Amino acid sequence: MTEIPLWSLAVLPAVLGVATIVAIAFDVALSARAGGRAASLTEAVVVPLREAVRLLVGQRRVTTAADRVLWRTGVVTVPLAALMAALVLPLGGVAVADLDVGVVWFNAMEILAWAAVWLAGWGPNSALSLVGGYRFVAQGLAYELPHMFALITAATAAGTLRVGGIVEAQSGVWFVVWMPVAFVVYLLSTAAMAFQAPFDAPIGRDLAGGVAGELSGVDRLVLQGGRWLLLVVAVAMSVPLFLGGGHGPLLPPWLWTVLKTAAVLAAVLWLRRKFPTVRMDRFAEIAWVVLIPLTILQALAVAALVLTW
């Protein structure tokens, strides 16, 4: 894996921003289709941009006795954590940083986002917002262990924590072929991490928006943009972890990476509409009773194969 120059740090947010806008536009098109009509390309692109402009010019909400420092810190940290996680994300054969502990770095930034969402719920001194923050903590306790076992399984198979090394280990067979459970659990946890449906209880309607309920103007734009950025980055990471990264015939590696990421992201966005919001207690039960044992068994099976080969 080749590391690209530091000036690429300035390009990375723009590239991820474009990818996020495309994902939101696709989601708008799916929403229109679910409503029984077809959205034009112009509508799919204009609707999210118009909403972004509306929030940019909107007034920030002020609540009584709010801890503004923690509140704003939490909101800003969500997209910042997504950007920092993307530093180890390879595009074909290049990445901003191919760290020896790239998988650990990626997971650490995800957990930073976990703390950020809780701060965003705590800061405004609002009961419903606070409950939303604690819901996300409960959700994190449910998805994080299966998520970590999925990451560990890929790293165990490759024998390295370096993301580039994991891609190189899949030059023959993609990891998704012999660790499908880890792949599916990883995608489930990405939706939970970005509190996208059906894991959107932290911003549920029954809480009047929960974590995002007291946010307006640019604050709401930053948090919502951060959610989508988290989803795009986490889904994109599934490609080097399980889908062979840039490996593929005929096309250049960077194009294979883009195509695989687009396909997985489209599948996640389509599937999230097929299920109702999952209650916290049900999700925690499923995670601890089903997902954790399954991912442990998957990790043990992969470890046994690695030792015997």
SS3 of residue 5 by DSSP: coil
Cα–Cα distance, 1 to 111 (Å, whole number): 25
Q: Which residues pair with 91 in a beta bridge?
A: 94
Q: Is the predicted pLDDT of residue 219 greater than 70, yes or no?
A: yes
Which pLDDT band, with edges at 50, 70 and 90, does 309 fall under? confident
Residue 115, Cβ density class (10 Å: 0-12 exposed, 13-18 middle, ≥19 buried) = middle
pLDDT tens digits for 242-260? 999 888 888 899 999 999 9
Q: Is the predicted pLDDT of residue 292 greater than 90, yes or no?
A: yes
The residue written with tokens 């074909």 in the block is 92
How many C-beta atoms lie closer than 10 Å to residue 226's C-beta? 26
SS3 of residue 2 by DSSP: strand
Residue 6, Cβ density class (10 Å: 0-12 exposed, 13-18 middle, ≥19 buried) = exposed
**Joined tokens for residue 298:** 């998957």
| DSSP code string of 140-182 | HHHHHHHHHHHHHHHHHHHT-S-HHHHHHTTSSS-HHHH-HHH
SS3 of residue 94 by DSSP: strand
pLDDT tens digits for 89-146? 988 778 888 889 999 999 999 889 888 999 999 999 999 999 999 999 999 889 999 9
Q: Which residues pair with 94 in a beta bridge?
A: 2, 91
Instruction: Supply the pLDDT for residue 184.
Output: 95
Instruction: Supply the pLDDT for residue 97.
Output: 83
Q: Is the predicted pLDDT of residue 175 greater than 70, yes or no?
A: yes
Instruction: Supply the pLDDT for residue 47.
Output: 83
Query: In this structure, which amino acid lies at residue 59?
Result: Q
Rounded to 10 degrees, the C-alpha dihedral 243/246/252/255 comes to 70
| DSSP code string of 32-84 | HHHTTSPPPHHHHHHHHHHHHHHHHHSPPP--TT--HHHHHHHHHHHHHHHHH
Instruction: Supply the pLDDT for residue 108.
Output: 93
Cα–Cα distance, 152 to 289 (Å, whole number): 19
Q: Is the predicted pLDDT of residue 195 greater than 90, yes or no?
A: no
Q: Is the predicted pLDDT of residue 177 greater than 90, yes or no?
A: yes
Q: Is the predicted pLDDT of residue 289 greater than 80, yes or no?
A: yes
Instruction: Supply the pLDDT for residue 3.
Output: 64
Spatial contact of 302 and 179, defined as CB atoms under 8 Å apart: yes
In this prediction, what percent of the chain has a pLDDT beyond 90? 51
Spatial contact of 173 and 88, defined as CB atoms under 8 Å apart: no
Instruction: Supply the pLDDT for residue 308.
Output: 85
Instruction: Supply the pLDDT for residue 273.
Output: 82
Which pLDDT band, with edges at 50, 70 and 90, does 2 fall under? low
Mean pLDDT lowest for which of 3-12, 220-229, 242-251, 271-280? 3-12
Query: What's the mean pLDDT in 192-221?
Result: 87
Cα–Cα distance, 28 to 11 (Å, whole number): 26
pLDDT tens digits for 16-50? 999 999 999 898 888 888 777 777 777 778 888 88
Cα–Cα distance, 151 to 162 (Å, whole number): 12
Instruction: Supply the pLDDT for residue 4.
Output: 65
**What are the Cα distances from residue 123, in Å, to 4, 74, 78, 117, 136?**
38, 8, 14, 10, 15
Instruction: Supply the pLDDT for residue 221.
Output: 93
User: Side-chain half-sphere of 118: how many Cα atoms within 13 Å?
Assistant: 14
Mean pLDDT of the chain: 89
Give me the count of residues in the chain: 309
Spatial contact of 4 and 94, defined as CB atoms under 8 Å apart: yes
Mean pLDDT lowest for which of 51-60, 77-86, 149-158? 51-60
SS3 of residue 92 by DSSP: coil
Which pLDDT band, with edges at 50, 70 and 90, does 187 fall under? very high
